[in-house]
Amino acid sequence: MPAGEAAPARTTWREAMRAALREALRGDPRVFLMGEDVGHYGGCYAVSRGLLEEFGPERVRDTPLSESAFVGAGIGAALGGMRPIVEVMTVNFSLLALDQIVNNAATLRHMSGGQLTIPLVIRMATGAGRQLAAQHSHSLEGWYAHVPGLKVLCPATLEDARGMLAPALADPNPVILFEHVGLYNVEGALAPDAGPVDILRAAVRRAGTEVTLVAYGGMVPRALAAADELAAGGIDAEVIDLRVLRPLDSGTLVASVRKTRRAVIVDEGWRSGSLSAELSARLVEEAFYDLDAPIERVCSAEVPIPYARHLEAAAIPQVATIVAAARRAVGRP
């Protein structure tokens, strides 16, 4: 490490997100946080713990249990010049605010000919792995990635958890920030000066030459673990972290597949009508003649996510199923 540089500090994914919230609240008086239990309770996943005491109830607001009401209030506040951060406890509950998000937040800038802007950030927990059963564990990111007018982000690393919020708040369009429940306790090193990150492009998390593993959010660590296991067996895998689901960065994905000539798409959503299907279609449209094998998809089982731990694990993508798909793609099952 060069002399004078501060050593990266150990932190958790949850703490990195909290640091981003604190920085946003300190840096702009227009920013406020609201949602169910974000204040006195400290957030359902403890992300906002301590912020009420630091910033007070005007900036950290507990809301009634009405997603339609408080998401709508966030849209109104954004239209009025504020920079609201709205926390929805889980993506499943966001369906109660679907009209507000899809019919209002996503459309008003377009319908006003650009006269109205909606600088709103909606944070949602998503994903399975914590035995929270079907009404708290689904991965519906692909639904929102279908909607023009929204930007959809899925941080997977500490740097992205820390750095995606600031550029999201600066965007004139509504941004949905999906936080996978399985990442909150992930611990690692984060530079003290970690700042804003790019929210337009995918990232190559591991370079490789034989097969491309494509993942986002909570599936990125599993794709990286699968790449390690494949390397031990002599298969060199590249790992792409999509990071941004809308707008999709097809360029990074296609460039990787043109190099490796094989693709495995890992998506915690259900296979039917999924984001993995959209990615497969784009690869076929843009890189069909570069492929040496059929595209493999590793998705969740087409069932509501079970509560029992062994059934939950069986229903969602695991390292072993990713490895098996990659081996099929390279012809070494």
Enumerate the domain spans of the chain. 9-190, 203-330
| The token pair that represents 326 in the structure block | 């990659």
Instruction: Tell me the per-residue pLDDT of 178-225, one tens digit each, with 9 for 90 and over.
Output: 999 999 999 999 998 889 999 999 999 999 999 999 999 999 999 999
pLDDT at 5: 61
Whether residue 4 is predicted with pLDDT greater than 70 in this model: the reply is: no
- Cα distance between residue 317 and residue 267, in whole Å: 8
Q: Is 136 a catalytic residue?
A: yes
Q: Stretch 249-257: mean pLDDT, rounded?
A: 96
Under the banding of pLDDT at 50, 70 and 90, the label for residue 8 is confident
Q: Stretch 220-232: mean pLDDT, rounded?
A: 98
Query: Which listed residue (15, 36, 67, 87) is catalytic?
Result: 67
| The token pair that represents 37 in the structure block | 């239990």
Nearest one of 75, 99, 100 to 86, comparing CA atoms: 75
The CATH architecture one would assign to domain 9-190 is: 3-Layer(aba) Sandwich (3.40)
Instruction: Tell me the per-residue pLDDT of 59-114, one tens digit each, with 9 for 90 and over.
Output: 999 999 999 999 999 999 999 999 999 999 999 999 999 999 999 999 999 999 99
pLDDT at 130: 85
Over the chain, what is the mean pLDDT? 95
Q: Is 141 a catalytic residue?
A: no
Whether residue 1 is predicted with pLDDT greater than 60 in this model: the reply is: no
Whether 9-190 and 203-330 share one fold: the answer is: yes
Instruction: Tell me the per-residue pLDDT of 138-179, one tens digit each, with 9 for 90 and over.
Output: 999 999 999 999 999 999 999 999 999 999 999 999 999 999
pLDDT at 333: 81
Instruction: Tell me the per-residue pLDDT of 285-320, one tens digit each, with 9 for 90 and over.
Output: 999 999 999 999 999 999 999 999 999 999 999 999
| The token pair that represents 246 in the structure block | 């809308």
Where helices occur in 80-173 by DSSP H, the ranges are: 98, 108-111, 141-145, 158-163, 165-170
H or E segment and range at residue 314:
helix 309-315
Query: Which listed residue (136, 138, 141, 210) is catalytic?
Result: 136
Enumerate the β-bridge partners of residue 160: none
Q: Write the class of the CATH domain 203-330.
A: alpha beta
Q: Say whether pTM exceeds 0.75.
A: yes
